[in-house]
Structure 1
Amino acid sequence: MDSFELNKVLGAILAGCIVVLCVHLLANSIFAPVQPAKPGFQIAAQQPASSAPAARTEAPAPIATRLASADVNRGKSETKVCMTCHTLNKGGPNKVGPNLWGVVDRPRASHPGFDYSAAMKAKGGKWTFDEIDKFLTHPQGYIPGTKMTFSGIQSSGQRANLIAYLRTLSDNPVPLPQAAAPASSGSAQSPSQKGKAGG
C-alpha cells in the first residue's frame, strides 16, 4: 500500500472519529442530565406522633355553683334572644314558643294554650334549674324533636345569668339551689390514724 492509500484510510478513520464526537456532544446538549443539588437519594422520614395529650373540654361547674355568682342584670339583657319567640310578662300570650313567666320549676309542656311537640310531652318532669341549663345548651340535642329551633347557648356563664333572671319572673321565685361545698384537699383520717396523731 502506497502512502496515498494510507492517507485515505487514516483520513476516513479520523473523519469517523470526528462524526462520533460531534454526535456525542450534540446528544449531551439536547439530553443533558439533571444533576441533583445533593448527591444520593433523599428518603422522607415519617414524623413521630406528638406525645402531647389531646386537649380536653372541661365540664362546666354545676348550675348551683354558677347561679351563686350569676348576674341577673346581664341575664335580663340576654333575654332579647328569647323574646323573638317568647313573651316574658305575667299573662303574656304564647308566640312561636310558650310564655316564660314562672317557667322555673314548672312542669314541662304544661303552659295553657300552647301546642307542645310530642317529644316535649314525652320528656316529662319539671323545668328545674339543671334541666333548663341542659336544654339551653343544645335544645335539639337534649330533646330531639322539640319545636325550639334555637341553636343553644354555649357559654355556661351566660346560661347561668339567663336562668337567674328567668327565676325572677314569678310571684314567688324558687329558692336558689345550694352549691355543693368544695371537697377537702386533705384525706380524711381513720380513727386509728387520729389516735396515733393524738398520742
Structure 2
Amino acid sequence: MSRILLPVLASLALLACSDGADPAASGGTSAAAQSVSADLTAPDAAPVEQAVALATSGPDLANGQRQFRRCQSCHTLNEGGRHTVGPNLHDVIGHPAASAAGFSYSRALREAGLTWDLETLDAWIENPRELVPGNRMSFVGLRNAQDRRDVIAYMAATTAQGD
C-alpha cells in the first residue's frame, strides 16, 4: 500500500466498523474489553484494513513496541529484514501462515491452514502452542489482551510506515 492510501483506508475501515453507538452504553462487558474485541473481529473488513483500523484506534504503540522486544530475540520486523530463529514479520498481517520465502517452518504450522488475520494473531500471540500444537515456536505467549492488541497494532503501524 502506498503512504497516500493508508489514511484513506484507515478512515474507511473505521467507518465500516463503526455503528455509531457508544460502546460504553451497551452494558455487560467493559468498554475496554468491547473495544479490544471489536478491533480484533471487525466484520467484513480485510485483515490489512482491520490492522490499519486497529493501529489508528487508540492502542498504546509505545507499549506495543516494548512488548515486541520479546519477539525481537527471534523475529525482525523491518521491510526486507532477514529471518533469524523465526521468520521476518514485516507485512505478515493478511497473509497465510508459513508463507515467507526462505524460512523453514514446522510441519504443524505449514499444515494448519491459518491466515494471519487479527483474531488468529491474537490467539497465536496469546498461546502459540495451544493454537497450533506441535509448532516449533518456544514463546510462552502474552496473557494480557491489551498487550497483545498493542503488539499487533505496533506491527501494523511499523509495516505501514515501511511501505
Please tell me the TM-score bracket, short chain as reference: 0.5 to 0.7
Q: What is the CA RMSD across the aligned residues, in angstroms?
A: 2.3
Alpha-carbon separation, structure 2, partners of 1:119 and 1:63? 29
The residue type equivalent to 1:70 in the other structure is: P
Alpha-carbon separation, structure 2, partners of 1:150 and 1:63? 26
Alignment-derived partner of residue 155 in structure 2: 166
Contact 1:63 1:130 in 2 (8 A): no
**Structure 1 stretches of 5 or more lacking a match?**
1-57, 174-199
- Please report the TM-score for the alignment, with normalisation by the length of structure 1: 0.53
Alignment-derived partner of residue 41 in structure 1: none
Contact 1:132 1:163 in 2 (8 A): yes
Q: Which residues of 2 match residues 1-199 of structure 1 at below 5 A?
A: 61=34, 62=37, 64=39, 67=54, 68-171=57-160
Alpha-carbon separation, structure 1, partners of 2:81 and 2:97? 18
The total of aligned residue pairs comes to 115
Alignment-derived partner of residue 18 in structure 2: none
Alpha-carbon separation, structure 2, partners of 1:63 and 1:95? 33
Q: CA deviation at 1:76?
A: 1.3
Q: CA deviation at 1:123?
A: 1.0
Q: Percent identity?
A: 33
Alpha-carbon separation, structure 1, partners of 2:40 and 2:99? 28
- 2:124 counterpart SS class: helix
**Structure 2 stretches of 5 or more lacking a match?**
1-29, 42-53
Alpha-carbon separation, structure 2, partners of 1:155 and 1:138? 11
Q: Which structure has the bigger radius of gyration?
A: 1
Contact 2:109 2:135 in 1 (8 A): yes
- Please report the TM-score for the alignment, with normalisation by the length of structure 2: 0.64
Given the superposition, is the C-alpha separation of residues 63 and 119 from structure 1 closer, same or farther in structure 2, using an over 3 Å criterion? farther
Q: Segments of 4+ in structure 1 off by > 4 A?
A: none
Q: CA deviation at 1:143?
A: 0.6
Given the superposition, is the C-alpha separation of residues 169 and 155 from structure 1 closer, same or farther in structure 2, using an over 3 Å criterion? same
- 1:136 counterpart SS class: helix
